[in-house]
């Protein structure tokens, strides 16, 4: 299969590494310096090269801010039967775009990123495949993700956005609050250092990605839960309520335990 990847960033290069030994692959990248780190694949910097390549599948791996503009740029240069796809963690506007594109499409979301995940060991990670996509496109990505040992889940666009609002917005907001109130520690404890490493990783993400995750229409309700829990915990602390603290710790330990049991 002839596969074109848009963008030679970390995730674009990751997909090229996965696909280039079983498929004829090419990458389109506007920054030629990024192409230095690609191998076993054709490297394109012009639309004319895409015209000649005639891809059967396009994987859009550019920064989330430019996902739709990248599609709009490449669509006039690919065959009408080419499947277009994205791996974006934010699907805002994509359903509407795909429905007007006159192309078969498949949308997926690898629920891991190069910041924290070990890309060589992904058996504990997951991927979402959007159910509205093209059947053959979904089969291709299911096969790819299965080979990586990922847990695969099929959601609608709406279900995906609800899931992301929970799985990304809560840890992002919690990290933001930690970073906002923290101060330098000459002798930081282990827990502080771990939180600091998480904060550095999250804050190293693209600003537009962080913004779009938090502007997800379902994020506000999730953040409201954080505010409610903080108020309950603050009341316990202010009143030095030992029994209340015991019950609170029991509740949150049960939450964590249940999550571990579900995964097992």
Strand partners, 44: 28
pLDDT(214) > 70: yes
- Integer angstrom CA distances of residue 23 from 10, 27, 58, 66, 222: 19, 13, 13, 26, 41
Query: Rounded mean pLDDT of the chain?
Result: 90
Backbone angles phi, psi at 24, to 5 degrees: -85, 110
- Predicted confidence at residue 101, as pLDDT, reads 96
pLDDT(210) > 90: no
Residue linked to tokens 């771990």: 194
pLDDT(261) > 90: no
Report the pLDDT averaged over residues 89-106. Answer: 94
- Predicted confidence at residue 122, as pLDDT, reads 78
> Above pLDDT 90, what percent of the chain?
61
E-strand stretches of the chain: 2-6, 24-28, 42-44, 57-60, 83-86, 105-110, 126-130, 151-155
The pLDDT tens digits of the residues spanning 105-119 come to 999 999 886 554 555
pLDDT(120) > 70: no
Q: How far from the centroid of its chain's Cα atoms is residue 172's Cα?
A: 13
**3-class secondary structure, 29:** coil
Report the pLDDT averaged over residues 255-264. Answer: 70
pTM (two decimals): 0.81
Judge contact between 132 and 157, C-beta under 8 A: yes
The DSSP string of 233-257 is HHHHHHTT-HHHHHHHHHHHHHHHH
CA distance 131 to 134: 8
Classify each residue of 123-151 as buried b or exposed e, where b means 16 or more C-beta atoms within 10 Å of its C-beta: eebbbbbbebbbeebbebbbebbeebebe
Tally of CA atoms within 13 A in the half-sphere of 156 that contains its CB: 2
Judge contact between 124 and 103, C-beta under 8 A: no
Judge contact between 88 and 94, C-beta under 8 A: yes
């Amino acid at each position: 299969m002839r596969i074109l990847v848009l963008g030679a960033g970390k995730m674009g290069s990751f997909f090229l590494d996965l696909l280039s030994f079983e498929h004829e692959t090419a990458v389109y990248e506007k920054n030629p310096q990024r192409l230095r780190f690609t191998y076993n694949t054709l490297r394109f910097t012009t639309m004319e090269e895409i015209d000649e390549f005639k891809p059967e599948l396009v994987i859009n791996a550019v920064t989330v801010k430019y996902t739709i503009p990248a599609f709009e740029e490449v669509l006039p240069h690919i065959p009408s039967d080419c499947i277009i796809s994205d791996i974006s963690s934010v699907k805002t506007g994509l359903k509407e775009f795909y429905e007007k594109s006159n192309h078969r499409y498949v949308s997926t979301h690898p629920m891991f990123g190069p910041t924290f995940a070990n890309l060589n060991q992904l058996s504990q990670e997951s991927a979402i495949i959007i159910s509205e996509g093209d059947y053959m496109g979904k089969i291709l990505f299911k096969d790819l993700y299965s080979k990586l040992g990922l847990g695969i889940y099929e959601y609608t666009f709406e279900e995906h956005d609800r899931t992301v609002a929970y799985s990304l917005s809560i840890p992002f907001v919690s990290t933001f609050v930690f970073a906002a109130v923290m101060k330098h520690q000459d002798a930081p404890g282990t827990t502080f250092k771990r939180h600091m490493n998480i904060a550095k990783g999250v804050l190293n993400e693209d600003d537009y990605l962080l913004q779009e995750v938090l502007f997800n229409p379902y994020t506000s309700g999730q953040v409201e839960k954080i505010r409610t829990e903080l108020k309950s915990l603050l009341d316990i602390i202010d009143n030095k309520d030992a029994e209340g603290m015991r019950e609170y710790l029991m509740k949150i330990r049960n939450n964590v335990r249940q999550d571990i049991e579900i995964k097992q």
